């Protein structure tokens, strides 16, 4: 059973619980009932009002629901109150997202990241429970587990609290260490691709990133109509023609109000996107919430420190567009955006041109002189720069090239004797 509380000015489009229903379906559950309440503010003790809580209890009973999912995040007190009143398990939106991530995590890295996010999210709740237990245990006069109380206040419950707290603390520290290792390895890996132009697919979950990845490369990644189908990062060569290529990465999707811990935990996975030369922001132009989703994705990029990257917006699913008005608004807000269909291959030639222009945009014209025998360096120029003219003089190759500053740095790294001849 889904419950949504619409507070103050928060309007959530036509169907306020559409996304929560999608998340629920993606988690493998079936929605049997929905309740929406308009309130000025959340009720601090039970989120919804007292009368509404009774209605929720009755509706849940009639529809045979076995879990209640709230569209907003709940405090430990609110969860306790609602569970007490309804006798059902209560989840909030963040927990539901974390649950989907946990069930989807396949790689070792993703599993560690999800566990960290889950522990970080639940630890304060456990703490809430602990203080509750502490109050019971400490009724004899002590005020906390660590306080020096009178005889008899250090009951078994209290000892358990300390043990649990230490176990969670140790596990958190271990996970953080392991993830830090992965982070460092990722950074090295990403840096080692410096001589390639890297492009990352980013955007709201279910926008069609993986479908586009498959259309552009032969990655064969899983693409399906579920939220968070992709949880890790995959990188493949994308041949642009004329011997040019870029490295294209597909990664985990974004969602509005992404649990903060999840963003932090998935930094390693998102490393590729953070360091890409170009971001392709994929948006589902058929979704009534497209505008909000584009803004939410921009918000996450901002949080990751990647909002200043060169970005190209792709309005995807052009083959299934129905809402002319929405499209007109999207085009007016983002005149530079490309309209594509990853499924039908529509607009992909334009996309390729745009990426090529972006690649060339950073190139500068210059004349270089290097030893004619340095096959490695000449080969590098053939692959990663545009050679306009080439001649040989006294054992040296004089080449006029269009080359990106990054590539020039790399050339200096692999060739011993490169001189600027202009």
Ligand X SMILES: Nc1nc2c(ncn2[C@@H]2O[C@H](COP(=O)(O)OP(=O)(O)OP(=O)(O)O)[C@@H](O)[C@H]2O)c(=O)[nH]1
User: Site residues (CB under 5 A) for Mg ion?
Assistant: 209-210, 229-230
Which of 239, 319, 350, 409 is in the footprint of ligand X by CB under 6 A?
319
324-333 vs 290-303: helix crossing angle, rounded to 10: 30
How far is residue 135 from each of residues 19, 82, 143, 150, 389, measured CA to CA in Å?
A: 39, 21, 7, 14, 81
Considering only 42, 70, 197, 228, the residue that binds ligand X (CB under 6 A) is: 228
* Inter-residue contact 363 to 404 (CB < 8 Å): yes
Establish if 266 lies at the interface with ligand X (CB under 6 A): no
Output the CA–CA distances (angstroms, integers) from residue 416 to 370, 371, 374, 401, in the order listed: 9, 9, 9, 18
Pick the closer one to ligand X by CB: 94 or 286: 286
Quick check: 225 binds ligand X (CB under 6 A)? Answer: yes
Question: Which residues, in sequence order, are bridge partners of residue 202?
Answer: 281
The verdict on 317 binding ligand X (CB under 6 A) reads yes
248 binds ligand X (CB under 6 A): no
Minimum separation from the CB atom of position 215 to Mg ion (A): 13
Check if the beta carbon of residue 92 is closer than 8 Å to that of residue 100. Answer: no
316 interacts with ligand X by CB under 6 A: yes
Question: Distance between CA 131 and CA 152 in Å, rounded?
Answer: 18
Nearest-approach distance from CB 279 to Mg ion, in angstroms? 15
Stretch that binds ligand X, among 16-24, 136-144, 269-277, 336-344 (CB under 6 A): 336-344
Mark 171-210 with x for binding to ligand X (rule: CB under 6 A) and - for no binding.
----------------------------------xxxxxx
Is 293 a binder of ligand X (CB under 6 A)? Answer: no
Matching residue, tokens 């479908």? 211
- Please tell me whether residue 217 binds ligand X under the rule CB under 6 A: no
The answer to the question of residue 236 lying near ligand X (CB under 6 A) is no
Distances (CA, A) of 114 to 12, 26, 233, 393: 28, 17, 15, 60
The residue count for binding ligand X (CB under 6 A) is 22
State the nearest-atom distance from the C-beta of 208 to ligand X, in Å: 3
DSSP string computed for 71-107: SS---HHHHHHHHHHH-SEEE-HHHHHHHHHHHH--S
Nearest to 381 by CA among 398, 395, 394: 398
Q: Is 223 in the site for ligand X (CB under 6 A)?
A: yes
341 binds ligand X (CB under 6 A): yes
Q: Which strands make up the sheet holding 34-39, listed edge to edge?
A: 34-39, 2-7, 67-70, 89-91
- If the CB atoms of residues 340 and 385 are measured against ligand X, the closer one turns out to be 340
Q: What angle do CA 23, 24, 26 make, to 5 degrees?
A: 65
Pick one of 23, 137, 229, 270: the residue that binds ligand X (CB under 6 A).
229
Stretch that binds ligand X, among 86-94, 98-106, 221-229, 410-418 (CB under 6 A): 221-229
* Footprint of ligand X (CB under 6 A): 205-211, 223-225, 227-230, 253, 316-317, 319-320, 341-343
């Amino acid at each position: 059973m889904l419950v949504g509380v619409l507070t103050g000015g928060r309007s959530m489009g036509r169907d306020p619980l559409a996304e929560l229903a999608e998340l629920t379906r993606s988690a493998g559950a079936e929605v049997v009932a929905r309740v929406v309440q308009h309130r000025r503010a959340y009720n601090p003790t039970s989120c919804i009002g007292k009368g509404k809580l009774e209605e929720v209890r009755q509706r849940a009973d009639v529809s045979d629901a076995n879990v209640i999912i709230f569209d907003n995040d709940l405090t430990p007190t609110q969860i306790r109150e609602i569970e007490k009143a309804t006798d059902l398990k209560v989840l909030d939106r963040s927990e539901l997202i974390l649950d989907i991530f946990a069930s989807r995590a396949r790689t070792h890295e993703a599993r560690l990241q999800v566990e960290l996010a889950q522990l970080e999210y639940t630890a304060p709740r456990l703490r809430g429970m602990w203080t509750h237990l502490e109050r019971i245990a400490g009724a004899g006069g002590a005020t906390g587990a660590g306080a020096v109380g009178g005889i008899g206040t250090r009951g078994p419950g209290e000892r358990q609290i300390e043990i649990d707290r230490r176990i969670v603390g140790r596990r958190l520290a271990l996970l953080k260490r392991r993830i830090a290792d992965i982070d460092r390895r990722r950074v090295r890996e990403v840096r080692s691709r410096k001589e390639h132009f890297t492009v990352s697919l980013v955007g709201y979950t279910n926008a069609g990133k993986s479908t586009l990845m498959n259309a552009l490369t032969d990655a064969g990644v899983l693409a399906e109509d579920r939220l968070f189908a992709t949880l890790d990062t995959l990188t493949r060569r994308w041949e642009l023609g004329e011997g040019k290529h870029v490295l294209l990465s597909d990664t985990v999707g974004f969602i509005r109000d992404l649990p903060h811990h999840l963003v932090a935990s998935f930094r390693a996975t998102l490393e590729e996107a953070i360091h890409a030369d170009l971001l392709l922001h994929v948006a589902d132009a058929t979704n009534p919430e497209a505008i909000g989703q584009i803004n939410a994705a921009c918000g996450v990029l901002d949080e990751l420190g990647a909002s200043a990257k060169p970005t190209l917006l792709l309005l995807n699913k052009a083959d299934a567009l129905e809402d002319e008005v929405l499209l007109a608004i999207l085009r007016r807000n983002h005149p530079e955006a490309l309209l594509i269909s990853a499924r039908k291959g529509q607009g992909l030639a334009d996309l390729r041109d745009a990426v090529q222009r972006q690649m060339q945009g950073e190139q500068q014209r210059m004349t270089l002189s290097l030893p004619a025998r340095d096959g490695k360096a000449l080969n590098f120029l053939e692959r990663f720069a545009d050679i306009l003219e080439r001649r040989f003089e006294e054992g040296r190759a004089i080449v006029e090239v269009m080359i990106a500053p990054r590539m020039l740095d790399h050339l200096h790294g692999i060739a011993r004797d490169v001189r600027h001849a202009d």
